[in-house]
Amino acid sequence: MYYWRNRIFKELQHMNNALPLDGVSVVELAAIGPVPFTGRMLHQLGAEVTVVCAPRHRDLGIPMSDDPLESGKHRVVIDLKTAAGRDALGTLVRESDVLIEGFRPGTLERLELAPAYLHSVQPALVIGRCAGWAATGARASSAGHDINFLALAGILGAIGPKECPSPPINLLGDFGGGGMHLALGVVAALLQAKRDGKGAVVQTSIFGASVSLTAHLHGMLDSGLWIDDRQSNLLDGGAPFYRCYRTSDDHWLAIGAIEPKFFAELVSELDVEVDAARQYDRSYWPTLTQILSQRIAARTRDEWDTVFAQGDACATPVLTWKEARSHRDGAVAFEHNAPKPAITFHRE
């Protein structure tokens, strides 16, 4: 009796601790950018991910042991350009729930691995496809990288100082845009497939997904709340209460005191005399910027970090990658120098 009671307790405990995608099998056709990021997200949600690599697979040169995007995934080498390779993928797909790929539009079809074929092998398969450009656009078959997609989306032109747009690494287009949209689409299609047993093709692109992220900014633009001129607005470094300031040791302090109550606390902690009632007065911004610049430049970044460690002034040190791993407030998001899963689940 004790044995069975203990076993049932352990099984119930496992059920309560199980991740949402436990039991889901994902095939990831090796790529860079959004696809491995999506694979990582699905794995962190509990899915088992198998990466299919070409015999001469080219990656970014990061050792597997150091690449968080590859952590926990299985890898197999299959030449999809051969009949034997296509058969091998078919065998893998037959036992899988999801396939994700980031080839240019039409590549799977040329390899004789079109969705119709894959669904003939596994009718409930969710096929996630993330191209660079919109699949039906004039550039659909053209090469491109994050900087190109953001440029054509109007995003790049809004980021950075007036002198020159600044590429925001590849976090925005590849991951926040394409990767996140692909992951959401795959999970939604999985939910539907579990209900009716029918698979689906989930199609997105880095370009289209990045444009989707700008919906609120287009609303502000059409409402007259955004000027189509870089570093002139509330959220692009134009406002003196939402930008970075140089400290005495040539580091930086980030200020995000948008709301009046936060701005009031900021100027109180800085001990400066400003006309707080004119916080949103654009004609006052140059004066306010000068006042804040001079005051913040009087102390080091770490000294200001101590001043603003508590409270609601919305002032934080600008850290390097390595500094973020060990900072008293930032380290909680890392484990063994790699980012922790950003989503956790708990069930009673």
Catalytic positions are 145, 174
Distance CA 245, CA 289 (A): 9
Q: Is 86 helix (H, G, I), strand (E, B) or coil?
A: helix
What distance separates the 2 farthest-apart alpha carbons in the chain?
79
Task: Mark out the alpha helices in 1-160 (DSSP H runs).
Answer: 2-17, 34-44, 83-94, 107-110, 115-121, 146-153
Q: Give me the count of residues in the chain.
A: 348
Taking the C-alpha atoms of residue 113 and residue 108, their distance in angstroms, rounded to an integer, is 5
Name the token pair of 211. 């444009």
Characterize the bridge pairing of strands 252-256 and 242-246: antiparallel
Q: What residue has token string 């994050």?
A: 146
**C-alpha torsion sign, points 149, 154, 155, 157:** positive
> Cβ distance 198 to 124 under 8 Å?
yes
